[in-house]
């Protein structure tokens, strides 16, 4: 049984472009008027937006929030009798604001200019005597977060990459935290998808505003996730290395993330891999960092081998991270580059053809990867398709049968023909239609004496306003009492149980046939083999086929099913629709045209067709 506890942070979020203009109003919302502005000279636009509300300024926030720097800022705060804190910048500025809030209980407004996500967490890391410690306290959670995309537009690509991977670390750790819950899971996966989508675009074009928006939203989502769960191994190692050896914060997160993921190897990795669009999550993150030009080793961040030797815990993880080794692959190989290479070859002058082929490649490759398909399984599939083609003839359409039994024909039918609710529902064509059936006069018996319960069909074709559609061509076809169509009976002399009629001035046509019965589709070929492997039956519910066409009207291809017939709820080709199930009531006595039969049935139905081509 699933159980969890979820607490959402109380912060107010203002997101958009040019939102720093709202800083004075946000200060007023806090009933404050004397702000301490925390931020370097690069945050001048936000400082200017505050105007006279900024009664003091601290320009030297420091990485890892040393307590001595906090004490200096605290002195400025007290000297100017401030009543709120406004921090603009990355993790250093926001961390300092949190440290001050912890000591003074002053309200905070923070304006992130990176993607670290610290602004959305009740977490504070502080360094004292060369050791970094972390606390979790609701008192350090900012009251208001102002996200201004404009302030991130100038963030260099390399800093955007490490800051973005830092945010990804928050989302990843939240997914395998013991405190994870459905809300956190969805926020984390959304954050990972946005980061994986946006970071390559930023490297390609640092001015890509849509990508910047994606990254800023991802930072908020990821930070919110981390703020709702307990931190794990990744943050433990990152804070230890940063506080002890002074390693840069986001760069350290970037290097550590794939190695910690490989070490943890939880079930969450499958979901992370799916969000990243790769087969294996740890190597997928590592390869993403490489492609983005980010750091991959602690050694390149300045950590020496002698420093590494002073660390006893998790040496395997740290040794690999120090060297920058690609994590050992635990899932299926990443074929994303191969897929994209194939997609790029699908060009041509027809945009629709190009789009369909490119998506087909992506879908097929994803299916192969998702199911970790073996070579023998794929060769079996090729053999299956080969045999499907070999058994197909003019009178046996095995590929149509395959499409029907997989439900694809019905999906295409729904998409193509079920967007006009006032018309009669359509149904699949099936594999047994033949072009140019014999034209017959009204009243003709298309069964031509074959055994079965006679049925008098009296149907009408009208438009969506109920007006009769005269001179419409109506093709009808069905199976015999044994479940076979004429094209399946080579000894049969000519077409039977199929015909073409034309509606009269009232849009009507009448003919004799036999009540259809359920029957098995041909199952002596590859399609039958598939059905048996899937433990599925091959039977179709009893039905008649109709194709109605007239210039100026949409062609209607449909079927009518016998109410009470077998397999209505498990039709082998998924063709049954409630509105197509009709009565074939048994009759006794005189027939409409005087035909002498003691028992017979009748079918009365009105087909509605819509105008158009």
**Which one of 263, 286, 519, 567 is the catalytic residue?**
519
Q: In whole angstroms, what is the distance from residue 602 CA to residue 511 CA?
A: 10
Provide the 3-class DSSP secondary structure of residue 329.
coil
> Quick one: residue 503, left, alpha or beta (phi over 0 = left, psi -120 to 50 = alpha)?
beta
Ramachandran angles phi, psi of 197, nearest 5°: -80, -40
511 is catalytic: no
Query: What percentage of the chain's residues is helix, strand, coil (to nearest 5)?
Result: 45, 20, 40
**Which one of 193, 234, 239, 540 is the catalytic residue?**
540
CB 609, CB 424: distance < 8 Å:
yes
CB 303, CB 256: distance < 8 Å:
no
**Which one of 194, 234, 259, 545 is the catalytic residue?**
545
**Which one of 194, 249, 259, 543 is the catalytic residue?**
543
540 is catalytic: yes
Q: In whole angstroms, what is the distance from residue 517 CA to residue 453 CA?
A: 10
Provide the 3-class DSSP secondary structure of residue 581.
strand
539 is catalytic: no
190-192-197 Cα angle (round to 5): 95
588 is catalytic: no
- Going 540 to 543 to 547 to 553, the CA torsion angle's sign is negative
**Which one of 485, 498, 511, 567 is the catalytic residue?**
485
Q: How many other CB atoms sit within 10 Å of the CB of residue 286?
A: 25
| CA distances, 347 to each of 257, 339, 353, 365, 499 (Å) | 37, 14, 8, 18, 44
Please spell the DSSP secondary structure of 286-312, one letter per residue. HHHHHHHT----SGGGT--HHHHTT--
Radius of gyration of the chain, Cα coordinates, nearest whole angstrom: 35
Q: In whole angstroms, what is the distance from residue 320 CA to residue 259 CA?
A: 7
Helices (H) and strands (E) in the chain, counts: 19, 19
| Segment (H or E) for 378 | helix 375-391
CB 580, CB 425: distance < 8 Å:
yes
CB 257, CB 284: distance < 8 Å:
no
- Give me the residues paired with residue 108 across strands: 85
64 is catalytic: no
The Cβ-side half-sphere exposure at 175, using a 13 Å CA radius, reads 29
Q: In whole angstroms, what is the distance from residue 7 CA to residue 225 CA?
A: 10
Q: Which amino acids are annotated catalytic?
A: 485, 519, 540, 543, 545
């Amino acid at each position: 049984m699933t159980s969890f506890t979820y607490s959402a942070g109380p912060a107010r979020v203002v997101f958009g472009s040019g939102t720093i203009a709202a800083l004075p109003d946000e200060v007023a919302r806090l009933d404050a008027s004397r702000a301490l502005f925390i931020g370097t000279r690069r945050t001048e636009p936000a400082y200017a937006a505050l105007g006279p509300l900024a009664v003091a300024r601290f320009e030297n926030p420091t990485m890892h929030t040393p307590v001595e720097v906090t004490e200096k800022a605290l002195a400025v705060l007290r000297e100017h009798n401030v009543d709120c804190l406004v921090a603009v910048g990355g993790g250093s500025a926001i961390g300092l604001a949190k440290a001050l809030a912890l000591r003074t209980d002053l309200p905070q407004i923070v304006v992130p200019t990176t993607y670290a996500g610290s602004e959305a967490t009740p977490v504070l890391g502080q360094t004292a005597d060369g050791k970094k410690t972390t606390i979790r306290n609701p008192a350090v959670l900012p009251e208001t977060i102002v996200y201004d995309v404009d302030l991130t537009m100038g963030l260099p690509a390399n800093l955007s990459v490490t800051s973005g991977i830092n945010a990804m670390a928050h989302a990843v750790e939240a997914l395998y935290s013991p405190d994870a819950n459905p809300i956190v899971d969805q926020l984390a996966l959304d954050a990972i998808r946005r980061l994986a989508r946006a970071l390559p675009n930023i490297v390609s074009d640092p001015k890509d505003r849509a990508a910047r928006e994606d990254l800023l939203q991802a930072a908020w989502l990821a930070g919110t996730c981390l703020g709702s769960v307990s931190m794990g191994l990744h943050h433990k190692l990152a804070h230890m290395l940063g506080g002890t050896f002074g390693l840069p914060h986001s760069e350290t997160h970037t290097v550590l993330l794939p190695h910690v993921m490989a070490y943890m190897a939880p079930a969450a990795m499958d979901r992370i891999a799916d969000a990243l669009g790769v087969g294996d999550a740890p190597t997928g993150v590592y390869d993403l960092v490489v492609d983005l030009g980010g750091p991959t080793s602690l050694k390149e961040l300045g950590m020496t081998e002698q420093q590494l030797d002073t660390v006893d815990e998790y040496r395997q993880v740290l040794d690999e991270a120090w060297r920058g080794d690609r994590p050992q692959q635990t899932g299926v190989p990443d074929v994303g580059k191969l897929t994209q290479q194939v997609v790029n070859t699908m060009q041509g002058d027809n945009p629709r053809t190009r789009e369909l082929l490119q998506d087909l490649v992506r879908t097929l490759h994803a299916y192969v990867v998702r199911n970790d398909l073996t070579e023998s399984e794929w060769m079996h599939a090729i053999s299956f398709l080969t045999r499907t083609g070999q058994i197909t003839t003019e009178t046996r359409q095995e590929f149509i049968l395959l499409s029907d039994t997989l439900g694809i024909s019905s999906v295409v039918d729904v998409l193509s023909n079920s967007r006009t609710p006032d018309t009669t529902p359509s149904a699949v064509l099936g594999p047994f239609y033949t072009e140019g059936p014999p034209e017959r006069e009204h009243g003709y018996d298309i069964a031509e004496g074959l055994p079965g319960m006679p049925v008098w069909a009296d149907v009408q074709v009208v438009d969506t306003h109920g007006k009769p559609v005269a001179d419409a061509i109506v093709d009808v076809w069905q199976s015999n009492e044994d479940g076979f169509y004429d094209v399946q009976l080579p000894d049969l002399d000519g077409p039977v149980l199929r015909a073409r009629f034309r509606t009269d001035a009232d849009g009507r046509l009448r003919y004799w046939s036999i009540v259809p019965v359920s029957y098995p589709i041909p199952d002596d070929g590859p399609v039958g083999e598939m059905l048996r492997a899937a433990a599925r039956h091959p039977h179709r519910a009893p039905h008649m086929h109709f194709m109605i066409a007239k210039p100026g009207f949409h062609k209607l291809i449909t079927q009518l099913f016998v109410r009470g017939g077998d397999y209505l709820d498990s039709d082998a080709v998924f063709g049954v629709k409630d509105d197509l199930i009709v009565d074939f009531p048994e009759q006794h006595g005189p027939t409409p045209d005087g035909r002498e039969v003691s028992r017979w049935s009748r079918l009365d139905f009105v087909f509605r067709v819509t105008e158009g081509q």
